[in-house]
């Protein structure tokens, strides 16, 4: 089944895409026709197999139609975060060598700035759901194209960029699994075997499509003839309502979404029937144990977690039953083999913390135009890492501690912010939190906490002291933040990851006295 064309032949009127907010429906016949027209347009513009395009789109039906058109034309397509500014967007477009750029009208301001730069290889500019100077209408343009499949269909691939939480984003290129468009896709087989994806699947997609997991899950749902329900923007109660309305069977979340749903009033949570859900998959960030316990108690043992990366270096997976006996784990390896390695390159025994590596021939990625960074991801044994830190237990289950770059060294003691964040997020007055290290003349670094309160009225010294005292009862004094600040909104991406780098730069570059809301005892 190379494309939705097969489903379009069998079930032309079956919903392929349903937009959660507007209720707009795209049938398989329409998806097949529009993706064919997109591929025809790409060819008419001279784009050939292996050429790159860039997309900066809000969640909309055209997003997936364009992706399928690019897939059928053998293009490398790069979705770009809608939160990026001009320079960040321009860097990605320049780095990937995009020859065509498509933007949403809602992002017309940034799109106009990109057009004005005139420094990239972009030759064609299109806009969805509106027009702006220098941009052609995407919908009007494809409407003029024939709806037949192009004669030289080829397998295209997405090339997504790392989030850039610690530096410039890197393009992760994974070659297509096969040049044969009729060959089965291995990811579809994996999702079918592990998560039960198939033509009966109704997949709720609450996250932005420009992220790796939502993009792949949506594409694979459509590949297998299921229906995907795409939320224009995540809202906790709306997500529950859509599960009930469409009897969703599958979904993919990040932990902060669980937190938002759990912090809804009890009467709101009880209002919606979520019993149709068979697999509620989550990843992208570590999930606090208490949060996951509450989700399993609410939804049942349908919560499944995996650990992976855009680089495709390996996968671990854990279902609810195994997690309840290995709380905090992201599971044993499903693809590849897990190794924990110290700074000298020695493999560590169970229980000892080190850098997480995967071995196996599945790691075929390269960072686009970054051979040095690609080489840095592998050790001398050919094992690959993305810099996460953790340990394995004696059963081979992996536990993530944090990212190596986020570790705080205070008075010679290694402190992992994720542990502190996992506790703070469970406080009833905390909506979001970031913990990181800032300079300290005596200890090298000290622990800093920045909290986004549930209600801004709680951003007071009294509440800060309350939170610190609550935390003091639950964590070692060595790990207790020396100070806690409130921010109205933390720089968290929609895939659950924090741009912690922005906070670190703000505090380390401030050159000012930091408020001492709580006092940390001397590390020893």
The residue among 486 and 287 whose pLDDT is bigger is 486
Name the nearest CA neighbour of 225 among 187, 249, 197.
Answer: 197
Does one domain contain both 343 and 473?
A: no
What pLDDT, in 10s, does the model give residues 153-164?
A: 999 999 999 865
Does one domain contain both 91 and 46?
A: yes
Torsion sign, CA atoms 214, 218, 219, 220 = positive
Does one domain contain both 104 and 178?
A: yes
Q: At 1, list the tokens.
A: 């089944």
Q: At 317, list the tokens.
A: 């997976």
Q: Across the strands, what pairs with 448?
A: 436, 483
Asked if residue 256 is part of any domain, the answer here is: no
What is the pLDDT averaged over residues 113-118?
A: 90
Does one domain contain both 43 and 173?
A: yes
Grade residue 494 by pLDDT with cuts at 50, 70 and 90: confident
Which residue stretches of 80-199 are H helix? 86-96, 108-117, 138-143, 186-195
Does one domain contain both 503 and 384?
A: no
Longest dimension (CA), the chain: 72
Q: In the 8-state DSSP scheme, what is residue 331?
A: B
Asked if residue 434 is part of any domain, the answer here is: yes
pLDDT the model gives residue 83? 85
**Which CATH number is 475's domain given?**
3.30.300.30
Asked if residue 514 is part of any domain, the answer here is: no
Does one domain contain both 460 and 500?
A: yes
Asked if residue 247 is part of any domain, the answer here is: no
**Which CATH number is 126's domain given?**
3.40.50.980
Domain final residue, candidates 177, 206, 223: 223
Asked if residue 181 is part of any domain, the answer here is: yes
pLDDT the model gives residue 22? 98
Asked if residue 164 is part of any domain, the answer here is: yes
Domain count of the chain?
Answer: 3
Asked if 449 and 476 count as a contact pair (C-beta separation under 8 A), the reply is no
What pLDDT, in 10s, does the model give residues 285-330?
A: 778 899 999 999 999 999 999 999 888 899 999 999 999 999 999 9
Grade residue 519 by pLDDT with cuts at 50, 70 and 90: very low
The residue among 51 and 121 whose pLDDT is bigger is 51
pLDDT the model gives residue 345? 94
pLDDT the model gives residue 513? 41
What pLDDT, in 10s, does the model give residues 415-432?
A: 889 889 999 999 999 999
Asked if residue 166 is part of any domain, the answer here is: yes
* Residue 34 lies in domain: 5-223
Does one domain contain both 415 and 501?
A: yes
What pLDDT, in 10s, does the model give residues 343-355?
A: 999 999 999 999 9
Considering the chain, what is the average pLDDT of its residues? 90
Does one domain contain both 338 and 450?
A: no
Question: Taking the model in full, what pTM does it have?
Answer: 0.86
**Which CATH number is 340's domain given?**
2.30.38.10
pLDDT the model gives residue 524? 24
Asked if residue 522 is part of any domain, the answer here is: no
State how far the Cα of 17 lies from the Cα of 36, in Å rounded to an integer.
16
pLDDT the model gives residue 523? 28
What is the pLDDT averaged over residues 228-240?
A: 98
Does one domain contain both 365 and 219?
A: no
Whether the predicted pLDDT of 512 surpasses 60: no
What is the pLDDT averaged over residues 352-378?
A: 89
Does one domain contain both 50 and 152?
A: yes
Asked if 202 and 227 count as a contact pair (C-beta separation under 8 A), the reply is yes
Does one domain contain both 369 and 445?
A: no
Does one domain contain both 157 and 51?
A: yes
């Amino acid at each position: 089944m190379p494309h939705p064309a097969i489903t379009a032949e069998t079930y032309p009127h079956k919903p392929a895409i349903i937009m959660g907010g507007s209720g707009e429906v795209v049938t398989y016949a329409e998806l097949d026709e529009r993706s064919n027209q997109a591929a025809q347009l790409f060819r008419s513009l001279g784009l050939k197999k292996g050429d790159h395009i860039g997309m900066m789109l809000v969640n909309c039906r055209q997003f997936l139609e364009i992706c399928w058109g690019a897939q059928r034309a053998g293009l490398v397509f790069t979705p770009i975060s809608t939160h990026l500014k001009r320079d960040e967007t321009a860097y990605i477009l320049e780095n990937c060598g995009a020859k065509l750029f498509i933007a949403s009208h809602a992002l017309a301001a940034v799109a106009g700035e990109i057009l004005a730069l005139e420094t990239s290889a972009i030759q064609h500019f299109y806009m969805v759901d509106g027009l702006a100077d220098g941009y052609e209408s995407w919908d009007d343009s494809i409407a003029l194209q024939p709806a037949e499949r192009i004669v030289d269909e080829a397998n295209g691939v997405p090339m997504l960029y790392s989030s850039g939480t610690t530096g410039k984003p890197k393009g992760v290129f994974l070659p297509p699994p096969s040049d044969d468009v009729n060959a089965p896709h291995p990811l579809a087989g994996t999702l079918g075997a592990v998560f039960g994806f198939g033509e009966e699947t109704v997949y709720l997609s609450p996250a932005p499509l420009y992220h790796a997991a939502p993009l792949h899950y949506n594409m694979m749902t459509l590949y297998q003839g299921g229906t995907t329900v795409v939320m224009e923007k995540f809202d906790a109660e709306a997500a529950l309502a859509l599960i009930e309305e469409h009897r969703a069977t599958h979904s993919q979340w990040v932990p902060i979404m669980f937190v938002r749903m759990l912090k809804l009033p009890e009467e709101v949570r009880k209002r919606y029937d979520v019993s149709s859900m068979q697999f509620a998959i989550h990843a992208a960030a570590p999930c606090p144990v208490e949060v996951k316990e509450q989700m399993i108690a609410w939804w049942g043992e349908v919560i499944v977690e995996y650990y992976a990366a855009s680089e495709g270096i390996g996968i671990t997976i854990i279902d609810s039953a195994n997690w309840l006996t290995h709380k905090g784990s992201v599971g044993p390896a499903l693809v590849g083999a897990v190794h924990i390695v110290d700074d000298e390159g020695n493999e560590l025994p169970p229980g000892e913390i080190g850098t997480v590596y995967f071995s196996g021939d599945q790691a075929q990625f390269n960072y686009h135009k970054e051979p040095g960074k690609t080489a840095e991801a592998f050790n001398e044994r050919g094992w690959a890492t993305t810099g996460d830190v953790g340990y394995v237990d004696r059963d081979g289950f992996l536990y993530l501690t944090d990212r190596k770059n986020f570790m705080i060294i205070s008075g010679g003691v290694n402190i992992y912010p994720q542990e502190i964040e996992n506790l703070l997020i469970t406080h009833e007055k905390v909506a979001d939190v970031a913990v990181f290290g800032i300079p300290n003349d005596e200890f090298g670094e000290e622990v800093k906490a920045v909290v986004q309160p549930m209600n801004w009225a709680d951003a007071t010294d009294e509440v800060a002291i309350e939170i610190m005292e609550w935390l003091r009862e639950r964590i070692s004094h060595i790990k207790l933040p020396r100070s806690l600040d409130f921010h109205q909104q933390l720089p968290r991406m929609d895939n659950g990851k924090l741009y912690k780098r922005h906070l670190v730069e703000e505090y380390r570059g401030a050159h000012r006295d930091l408020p001492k809301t709580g006092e940390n005892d001397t590390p020893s």
